Each structure stands twice: as structure tokens, then as C-alpha cells.
Amino acid sequence: MARGLILYTPANTSSQIILTSISRTTFKFTNTPRITRRPITLNCSCTDDPVDISSYTQVFAKRMAMAGLHPHHHSMALCVLAAHWKKQGLENQGLGSGIPELIDGILGIIVDHGLRSESGTEAKLVQRRLVKMGISCEIACVDWANGKPKQGHVQEAARAVRYQQLQRICNQYQMSALLVAHHADDQAELFILRLSRNSGVLGLAGMAFTSQVFNTNSNCIIGDSNSILLVRPLLNFTKDDMYKICQGDNQEWVEDPTNQSQVYVRNRIRKSLTDISSSILKRELQMVISACGQTRMYVDQFCHYLIMQTVTITTHGYAVVDLEILNSMEISYLCLSKFVTLLLKFISQSHRPVRGSALKQVMDYVRTYPCKTSFTAAGCYLCAAPGSKGTKVLVCLSKNSALPLKMQLLYRDSCEGKKFHTFSEVEKHVEHVESYSDKMILNASDVHFLDTTSSTSLLNEAKKLSLLSESTHTTIISLRDDEIEKFVSKTSKVPKIESETEALHTASTSFGNSLPSNTIGYYMNRFLLEWKLTKDISNNAYSADKDRQGQGSGETVHQYYCKCCLVKFDMELEVRCMIDADWLYLADLVKCCDVNDFLNKQLLDMGMSKEAESVETYSEFSRSSAERALLSLKSIPVAARRGLPVLVHPQGLLLSIPSVDFKHCPGLEVSAIWKPRAPLEGGQCSYI
């Protein structure tokens, strides 16, 4: 299954590409079995009539401009159209005669999943073709470290690892944008698929023209930009258009034989749509998808407005929602559900949205004014904000959250000397996208399906609006019901196993909660943590000499500990969330008569008698640090404190609460920066 990324169209008509993104601006409102058959190589000479692709290149250029991309940008692009697009840009600048053999600013990426024996050969074949077109090309081979995906999860796992590879290469080559060659037929297949899974109007809107994708590689969190802008400039083109474009440019392509397997749901739906082969069906289907896209764009705009009006985000990782303002507005069920989902996903930094009965309970909760109770959902804790008398709701991470308290280690050596694409580069792209969105500010009366409660009611409404004819409506219902029957039959036979996507996510993020010195830890996708001992701490250290036994050298090793906090240079500190005992510890530290005696007792209780004999604390520093921390904690609600990170000695002694600037001694430098992986609204997204 050799899938192409950046410039992959000649090998497979569903190739993909890359870009970058940023946060949105303010809106104004007026109110598997393995297939081992040989791939089929097709030549573009299947028609005697020459194909003129100038109309395709014009539409492609227009879509690229809508995404804020121009030929002089260094971005990845789709084979034929991208090459024409870049060359035309150079010619317009009077540089046509100097166009190099390999076009600057275009990189083709082929992802070889290694799931078929011949995929490596296909990847090299595609690479040679792209180079002939003037496109630099790189092959990314997938290493299934934990074994190849199990039957029933092949496509899901392949997609997850594919985008990991794409993000990695985008970072490597400082690319800010990824172009993907999804087309109109892909949208139609996705519509039927989601229809069979009972998706609502937001899901039936399909793939966005542009959307922000956040890096799974946390080393990119250190820079200003940790995402790429995914652009799909070919959504208006059909698969037949893809063939014509290749033919018009005298390019061959390779059909992946796994596309013929009826085991995969998309292949089944694709075959059903192909068998019908009705231009009316395809046209009306695209009209409904477009209408769903407009509805989603309205919902996104309205949710952005709600967030700007009612939500306050703090640097300690919690939010406050103004119920008084929220309940004074007339908000549709669809908009409120999206608003709640965005908020909870942001606070928990979970990729799983809240659904079903839990979503309804949260919506009922925020609609209750004033708020008098507390509530837990989707890893978040909701309660009345202190001092608000129930007019505001506090939303913070739940102490009983089922989400893993994971931390990723980001080594500075992997980032130093590297140049990442800057926020300004992404911002330029998004400003262009937003300029088109601003021209399409919608009111509720401008969109359809806001009040639909099911996929069936949506289709019925589309028929009433004459978006669907009776025959098309009947055909779509038939396709949906047929896929539902096949899906139910399949799931009843296949035992439930862990999703390959979840397995990949877990494997790539679970690094434990120990943090070495001079290493950045990314805690729960929320906080960047770092600690180190100052260089002059050796003047206030004691040596715990010991023989390096078992290595045959007889060498004596000097281990220097800080006399105040008992931390040594090569020690790994433990990171966890704050607990009630931590601020009680601070209070006791402030009230104690002798800080040395207090700390000695703590060490003895932990079985650290030897360390207790040598400890010499900075009594006044520790006490004053605890006093300042307690004052800072007064401004943070108790429920929200439990989401703050703390650093502790391996034996359990509390060393630092960096969010409130507490530390035991001046020789310990600690920082905690609130930097969520994904922004509140999930990033820029356009359904134009």
C-alpha cells in the first residue's frame, strides 16, 4: 500500500500533500486480508483525443490562492498541477528561461507502508516518475515496530502512521503546508460511510478545504508553530478529472490492487457508487455535501463568537464560562453541542470528543442558571466558579480523570540548530483563507439542517429543499442501509480489539513521569516543564562518595547533592499532579518554628535518615517561597489546583510547584509553561 504524500498523484489518484496553519480571527455576527497481485500500470494513451488541462490548472491556482499559497511559496504540491502551478509562477516573474531541472519549493513524499511485497518497488517507480517531472522526491518507509496491524484495523493504522511520517518530514524540511489530493469522489464515499454510522450534519460535511493538523512529535512544541495546514485543493474535481489530468500531461499511474478488495468499507461504497454511474446522483450528492459544509461553517463561526463572548482561559490550564451571557443567547442544539465539545476537548487535551448521553448531560448542566452543582465528564470537572454565586462555571481537569498522566521528553539536542517554520509564515496562509471566510459570514437563515436530529431527517429535509430528487433520495437510503447491514454483520463476527490508532498513540506518548535535568518534559499535552541546578551549587553541596562496584575499575564516584533540596545533577525528578497534601505541606512549612527540624522530620518519615544528617536548608528562602506560593494559590480554585504539575524527589519529598513559583532552595531552577498542544477551537478550518 504505497501511498504518496506530497507529490504522489502519478502513482495513485488519491495522493496527498502539505502546508501550515494558525488560529482563527474574530468573526462578526449580525445575530484485511493482504492482496499480493501485481499492480496494474496504466498509460495515459487510453484516448485518441488530446486532453487540455489548462482549465484544471486555472481552478487549481484559484484554490491555492484561497489557501493563501502562491507559486513563490516553498510548499509541497500535487504532481502535475503543482508542477504547472510553480512553473507558471516562475514564468510570470520573468524567470521562465531559468527554471531548474528540479523545481524549487516542491517536494514529493511517498509513504511505503510495507503491507504488500511489491509496495517498495512501486514506491521507487513513482519516485523516478516524479523526478522526471522535475519534482524532488523522498520515500518514507514505515517500520511497524509493534507488528503490522491486525485485520479490521489496517486502513485506520495505515492512515495514522502515514500522517506521522508526513508531519515528521514537514518538520525536517521546514514545510508549513501539506496539500492532499482528496477529490469529490472521496467526499461522496465519506458521506455514505458516515451516513451509515449515523453521523450528524457536522460529520456529513466531510473533509474541509483547509484544516489544521497538530504535530504528534512534541519536539515541535518548543517552537512557535507546532502544526501544519492541510489543504485539499482538488475537492471540486472528480476521479475522472484526475485521470484526464494525467493523460493531458502524458503521465502514467499505478492502481493499488487493494482498492479492489471488498473487505474494506470504502472500497465497497466506491464500487456501489461506480455501479450506479449516475451523473445526477453525483451532482445532487455534492449539493447536499456542500450544504452540510455551509452549515458546519456557520456552526464554527457561531462557536467562535460564543467562545470570544463567554470563555476565559487562564495560564494555569482551566477555563471559566460566563453562564449569564451564555443563557441570554438563543443557541441551537447543534451550536451548543459543538461549543461544549470544543471546550472539554481543549481542557482535557483529549482527541476524543464527548458524545451521547454524556454530551446531553453537559449541555443541560451549562443551561442550568445559576449553577448549583458539580459535574464530571470527558476527563473534566465542572462546578460553580468561586465567588460567582453560580453565574459562572469553572472547567478544569478532573482529579479522577481516566486520561493517562503521560509525559513526553523533549531533548534540547534534537531542537537546537534547527529552523522551524515560523508563526508568521502560517499566519500569512491563514489570513488569505480568513479573507474568503469573512466574505461568507452566515446567519441561521442562510443555512440548512441546523435543526435536523438524525441522518434520516437530514436526507428528508434535503429532499424538501429540492437538493435531492426522489430517485436520488431512494438510492442514498439504499446505499446507507446496505452498508449498515454489512457493518453490523462484520462487527458481530470480529471480536473487539484495541484500535491500532490507540496503540500507536499510546506507544508514542507513554514515556513515564521522570524528568532528568536540562530536559524539557511535555506533561499531559499541557505544560512544558524543565529543571536544573545552578552551576555554583557545588559550593553548597556535600559529597556522597561510593565505590563503583561491579564494573571492575575500583574507581570512586563522587555524587554531589544540594544540601538544601537533596537533588543531584544526574537525578531524575518525578512529575505528578498537585494533591491536597501539597498545599497543606506549604502551610506547615510557613507555620513551623524551625525549617531544618521540619525538613529533617519529613526525611526521616520517608526513610532518608542519612540525607537528614547532612541537610542544611535555606530556612528563610524556603519559608518565604512557601508564603508566596500560598498567596498565589488563593487565586486558583481548589479544583483547578489539582491539574497543576509538581516536582518531587524520587523518595517523595515535594521540591517545587513551578506554576506558583515554589521551590525549596535558590539553587533549583524550575519552570512550567502552559502550552496546550491544540488551541481551543481545534485550529483553523474552512469548508468553503
Write out pLDDT tens, residues 596-611. Answer: 777 777 777 777 766 6
Q: What does residue 297 show for φ and ψ, rounded to 5 degrees?
A: -65, -40
Give pLDDT, residue 50.
65
Q: How much is the average pLDDT of 562-590? A: 84
Helix orientation angle between 239-248 and 79-92, rounded to the nearest 10 degrees: 60
Q: How much is the average pLDDT of 145-172? A: 83
Residue 296: pLDDT over 60:
yes
Residue 144: pLDDT over 80:
yes
Q: How far, in whole angstroms, is CA 371 from its chain's centroid?
A: 32
Whether 390 maps to a domain, the answer reads yes
Q: How much is the average pLDDT of 320-326? A: 96
Mean per-residue pLDDT over the chain, rounded: 76
Question: Could you tell me which of 23, 412, 405, 21 has the C-alpha nearest to residue 222?
Answer: 412
Give pLDDT, residue 29.
36
Whether 418 maps to a domain, the answer reads no
Same domain, 252 and 309: no
Residue 548: pLDDT over 60:
no
Boundary (domain end) residue, out of 365, 389, 407: 407
Give pLDDT, residue 281.
93
Boundary (domain end) residue, out of 373, 407, 441: 407
Whether 596 maps to a domain, the answer reads yes
Same domain, 151 and 17: yes
Give pLDDT, residue 558.
44
pLDDT band of 499, cuts 50, 70, 90:
very low
Give pLDDT, residue 450.
92
Give pLDDT, residue 93.
61
More confident residue, 29 or 93: 93
Whether 287 maps to a domain, the answer reads no
Count: domains in the chain: 3
More confident residue, 275 or 616: 275
Neighbours of 28 (CB within 10 A): 8
Whether 547 maps to a domain, the answer reads yes
Decide: 573 and 514 in contact? Cβ < 8 Å. Answer: yes
Residue 134: Cβ-neighbour burial (10 angstroms; 0-12, 13-18, 19+) = middle
Same domain, 110 and 217: yes
Same domain, 169 and 313: no
pLDDT band of 145, cuts 50, 70, 90:
confident
| Lowest mean pLDDT segment, chosen from 425-439, 447-461, 672-686 | 425-439
Same domain, 66 and 162: yes
Give pLDDT, residue 36.
32
Same domain, 149 and 240: yes
Residue 163: pLDDT over 50:
yes
Give pLDDT, residue 477.
95
With a pLDDT cut of 70, the percent of the chain lying above it is 70
Same domain, 251 and 357: no
More confident residue, 679 or 380: 380
Whether 447 maps to a domain, the answer reads no
Give pLDDT, residue 684.
66
Q: How much is the average pLDDT of 121-141? A: 84
Same domain, 8 and 60: yes
| Lowest mean pLDDT segment, chosen from 22-31, 155-164, 205-214 | 22-31
Same domain, 64 and 212: yes
Give pLDDT, residue 504.
32
Residue 140: pLDDT over 80:
yes
C-alpha cell at 290: 456542500
Give pLDDT, residue 426.
57
Neighbours of 55 (CB within 10 A): 11
pLDDT band of 417, cuts 50, 70, 90:
very low
DSSP classification of residue 510: -
Residue 619: pLDDT over 70:
no
Give pLDDT, residue 498.
41
Residue 272: pLDDT over 70:
yes
Print the domain residue range for 578: 535-666
pLDDT band of 6, cuts 50, 70, 90:
very low
Residue 510: pLDDT over 50:
no
- Which amino acid does the sequence have at 521? G
Residue 193: pLDDT over 90:
yes
Same domain, 363 and 225: no
More confident residue, 373 or 63: 373
Q: How much is the average pLDDT of 222-230? A: 67
Specify which residues 313 forms β-bridges with: 319
pTM for this structure? 0.80
pLDDT winner (highest mean) among 11-15, 50-54, 373-377, 537-541: 373-377
Torsion of the alpha carbons at 649, 653, 656 and 657, rounded to the nearest 10: 120
DSSP classification of residue 445: G
Whether 477 maps to a domain, the answer reads no
Instruction: State the CATH number of the domain containing residue 128.
Output: 3.40.50
CA 523, CA 221: separation in Å to the nearest integer? 12
pLDDT winner (highest mean) among 59-68, 144-153, 396-405: 144-153
Q: What does residue 21 show for φ and ψ, rounded to 5 degrees?
A: -150, 175
In terms of phi and psi (left: phi > 0; alpha: psi -120 to 50; beta: otherwise), the region of 683 is: left
- Which amino acid does the sequence have at 435? S
Question: How much helix, strand and coil, in percent to the nearest 5, is found in the chain?
Answer: 45, 15, 40
pLDDT band of 645, cuts 50, 70, 90:
very high
DSSP classification of residue 223: S
Whether 74 maps to a domain, the answer reads yes
SS3 203: helix
Decide: 43 and 145 in contact? Cβ < 8 Å. Answer: no
Same domain, 655 and 586: yes
Same domain, 245 and 313: no
Give pLDDT, residue 385.
96
